[in-house]
């Protein structure tokens, strides 16, 4: 805490991981001797920079850019770029820290990093977004590269933003390489990357409920928060697997549709018109809109998939979900449940899949995009989707088995932290301490 004053999200993420590692530390004194715990909580490098740009009225605006290169023990830094007014050093550090373990869990050779800016793309014109992205990349391009650090999308950064950033990188560096993932299909993007986090979340959840409760999505009522990239494709896959998704949200409020969300309407509003979820009730009969996003957790459901942002489920919301009979919760967003909420779920015997494991499908598919860029080939949708499914299934089993091995059977939070940690820790140990 003294080293990272005021960084509450970062400290929250570190505490959760370190608590899970207590049995590992007891069993593996060699890792403590190699100083792994002290080293892993310190980013290898943090870059903070000024991002000036000119708005449509000719006025100069200044935002702050971040890139945290947290850990490169098992591969080049990899992690998204978040564009949201709440972005600060603490948020980027928590995301970068979690990314180390998530990336390790995918089984692919990628290290952990994260970046972003306090720029808010909402309400900005395409021209403003482009000028911001170009200015952001003008500095960032000095620090990244296809074999060094490969950023991707996150909140506020979709195909449009990645396109502008890629264009600027190419212009400055005069090289066409896989320096970013989440690219458009015509210039090196991977099929199924758009769907990957949401689909992957459902593959993980399916495996979790099958193996631990002999259940499936079929006939289950599902509540999903958010209405961005992760929420939309989680809705698509959950519906395809037989679930009925009855609610979605944004930071203003949520919609409840007892007949099951009509995803074509949502895609039109969010992906084409860049509108608000509220608009849904003007187009679909029988749906209701409620102001305030946390009310979504009072809706009765069997499975809850938080896919908006950090700390969106607190203790009270968790209790409401449990009282309404939820039997499984899996995190599509990063750290959407507070530590108190996680305790409520675990004490009530609710199956709980943590973000690091459950939402790793996005970054896994980004790594598959890197592979395709390296060999200058494109794989089919089916090929990528099959690999994604296989990766998510393995993540569940590896986490489950790690928890069991360390006497914590059924605790998927501990399992994900332990399994993700061990691979990175061993790599750090064998690579020696750099003087
Ligand atoms: P998008 O920008 O596409 O969508 C974000 C959604 O969450 C929007 O509906 C947004 O509503 C809502 N939201 C954002 N901030 C808040 C807030 N403070 N309070 C309430 N709602 C909020 O982002 P993604 O779907 O890509 O990301 C969602 C989550 O998933 C994030 O935690 C992200 O880190 C995580 N994630 C994303 C991956 C990806 O591949 N995209 C991969 C792994 C994790 P509004 O429009 O009102 O802001």
Q: How many independent structural domains does the chain possess?
A: 2
**Structural element, H or E, at residue 146:** none
Mutate to test the pocket of ligand 1, among 235, 267, 309, 361 (most ligand atoms within 8 A of CB): 309
Q: Is 35 annotated as a binding residue?
A: no
Average pLDDT over residues 20-47: 95
Q: Indicate whether 421 belongs to any domain.
A: no
Average pLDDT over residues 151-156: 96
Q: Both 153 and 295 in a single domain?
A: no
Q: Is 197 exposed, middle or buried (0-12, 13-18, 19+ CB in 10 A)?
A: buried
Q: Indicate whether 430 belongs to any domain.
A: no
Q: Both 172 and 199 in a single domain?
A: no
Q: Both 210 and 315 in a single domain?
A: yes
Average pLDDT over residues 54-69: 98
Distance CA 121, CA 340 (A): 32
114 is catalytic: yes
Check pLDDT > 80 for residue 434.
no
Q: Both 225 and 292 in a single domain?
A: yes
CA of 46 to the centre of ligand 1 (A): 23
> Is the dihedral angle over the CA atoms 318, 324, 330, 331 positive or is it negative?
negative
Q: Is 78 annotated as a binding residue?
A: yes
Distance CA 150, CA 78 (A): 5
Binned at pLDDT 50, 70 and 90, residue 40 comes out as very high
Q: Indicate whether 226 belongs to any domain.
A: yes
Q: Both 249 and 219 in a single domain?
A: yes
At 37, which CATH number?
3.40.50.10860
The percent of residues in the chain predicted with pLDDT above 70, rounded, is 100
> Residues near ligand 1 with C-beta < 6 Å?
153-156, 197, 226-231, 250-252, 293, 307-309, 332-334, 359, 362
Q: Indicate whether 285 belongs to any domain.
A: yes
Residue nearest to atom 37 of ligand 1 (CA): 154
Domain termination site, one of 349, 384, 418: 349
SS (H, E, C) 126-139: HHHHHHHHHHHHHH
Binned at pLDDT 50, 70 and 90, residue 435 comes out as low
Binned at pLDDT 50, 70 and 90, residue 2 comes out as confident
- Give the closest residue to 99 by CA, choosing from 424, 389, 434: 424
Helix 8-20 to helix 89-105 angle, to the nearest 10 degrees? 30
Q: How many helices (H) and strands (E) does the chain have?
A: 17, 12
At 222, which CATH number?
3.40.50.720
Q: Indicate whether 434 belongs to any domain.
A: no
Per-residue confidence (pLDDT) for residue 230, from 0 to 100: 97
Are the beta carbons of 213 and 328 closer than 8 angstroms?
A: yes
Q: Is 72 annotated as a binding residue?
A: no
Structure tokens at 141: 């391009």
Q: Both 226 and 328 in a single domain?
A: yes
Residue nearest to atom 35 of ligand 1 (CA): 333
Residue nearest to atom 41 of ligand 1 (CA): 154
Check pLDDT > 80 for residue 150.
yes
CA of 155 to the centre of ligand 1 (A): 5
Check pLDDT > 70 for residue 6.
yes
Q: Indicate whether 301 belongs to any domain.
A: yes
Check pLDDT > 80 for residue 202.
yes
CA of 309 to the centre of ligand 1 (A): 5
Residue nearest to atom 33 of ligand 1 (CA): 333
Q: Both 21 and 120 in a single domain?
A: yes
- Tell me the pLDDT tens digit for each residue of 346-383: 999 999 999 999 999 999 999 999 999 999 999 999 99
Among candidate residues 27, 93, 114, 319, the one labeled active-site is 114
Per-residue confidence (pLDDT) for residue 274, from 0 to 100: 92
Instruction: Please spell the DSSP secondary structure of 288-308, one letter per residue.
Output: EEEESSGGGGGS--SEEE--S
Q: Is 104 annotated as a binding residue?
A: no
Q: Both 20 and 159 in a single domain?
A: yes
- Tell me the pLDDT tens digit for each residue of 324-338: 999 999 999 999 999
Provide the domain limits for residue 208: 195-349
Domain termination site, one of 305, 329, 349: 349
**What value, to the nearest 5°, has the Cα angle with vertex 405 and ends 37 and 386?**
90
Residue nearest to atom 29 of ligand 1 (CA): 333
Q: Indicate whether 395 belongs to any domain.
A: no
Q: Both 246 and 215 in a single domain?
A: yes
Q: Both 160 and 277 in a single domain?
A: no
- Tell me the pLDDT tens digit for each residue of 215-237: 999 999 999 999 999 999 999 99
Q: Is 268 annotated as a binding residue?
A: no
Domain termination site, one of 299, 317, 349: 349
Check pLDDT > 90 for residue 1.
no
CA of 308 to the centre of ligand 1 (A): 4
Per-residue confidence (pLDDT) for residue 433, from 0 to 100: 81
Q: Indicate whether 376 belongs to any domain.
A: no
Distance CA 91, CA 89 (A): 6
Residue in the structure block whose two tokens are 């390790």: 104
Average pLDDT over residues 245-251: 98
Q: Both 220 and 103 in a single domain?
A: no
Q: Both 171 and 207 in a single domain?
A: no
Instruction: Judge if ipTM > 0.95.
Output: yes
């Amino acid at each position: 805490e003294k080293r990272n004053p005021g960084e509450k999200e970062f400290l929250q993420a570190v505490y959760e991981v370190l608590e899970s590692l207590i049995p590992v530390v007891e069993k593996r004194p060699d890792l403590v001797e190699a100083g792994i715990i002290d080293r892993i909580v310190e980013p290898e490098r943090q870059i903070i920079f000024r991002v000036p740009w000119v708005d449509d009225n000719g006025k100069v605006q200044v935002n702050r850019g971040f890139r945290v290169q947290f850990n490169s023990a098992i591969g080049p830094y990899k992690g998204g770029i978040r564009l949201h007014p709440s972005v600060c050093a603490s948020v980027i550090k928590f995301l970068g820290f979690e990314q180390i373990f998530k990336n390790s869990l995918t089984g692919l050779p990628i290290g952990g990093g994260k970046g972003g800016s306090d720029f808010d793309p909402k309400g900005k014109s395409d021209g403003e977004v482009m000028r911001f992205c170009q200015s952001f990349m003008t500095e960032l391009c000095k620090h990244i590269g296809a074999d060094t650090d490969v950023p991707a999308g996150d909140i506020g950064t979709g195909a449009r933003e990645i396109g502008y950033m890629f264009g600027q990188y190419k212009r400055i560096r005069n090289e066409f390489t896989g320096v970013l993932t989440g690219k458009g299909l015509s210039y090196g993007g991977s099929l199924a990357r758009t769907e990957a986090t949401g689909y992957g979340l459902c593959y993980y959840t399916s495996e979790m409920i099958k193996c631990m409760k002999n259940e499936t999505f079929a006939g289950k009522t599902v509540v999903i928060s958010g209405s961005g990239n992760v929420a939309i494709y989680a809705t698509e896959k959950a519906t395809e697997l037989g679930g009925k998704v009855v609610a979605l949200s944004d930071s203003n409020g949520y919609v409840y549709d007892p007949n099951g969300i009509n995803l074509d309407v949502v895609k039109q509003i969010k992906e084409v018109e860049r509108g608000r979820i509220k608009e849904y009730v003007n187009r679909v009969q029988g749906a209701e809109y409620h102001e305030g996003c946390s009310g979504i957790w009072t809706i009765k459901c069997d499975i809850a998939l938080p896919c908006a942002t950090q700390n969106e489920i607190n203790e009270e919301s968790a209790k409401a979900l449990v009282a309404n009979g939820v039997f499984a919760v899996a995190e599509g967003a990063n750290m959407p449940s507070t530590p108190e909420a996680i305790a409520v779920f675990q004490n009530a015997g609710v199956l709980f899949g943590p973000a690091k494991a459950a939402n790793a499908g996005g970054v896994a598919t980004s790594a598959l995009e890197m592979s395709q860029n390296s060999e200058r080939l494109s794989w089919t949708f089916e090929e990528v989707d099959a690999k994604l499914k296989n990766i998510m299934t393995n993540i569940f089993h590896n986490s489950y088995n790690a928890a069991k091995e360390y006497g914590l059977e059924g605790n998927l939070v501990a399992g994900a932290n332990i399994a993700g940690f061990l691979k990175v820790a061993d790599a750090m140990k064998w690579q020696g301490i750099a003087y």
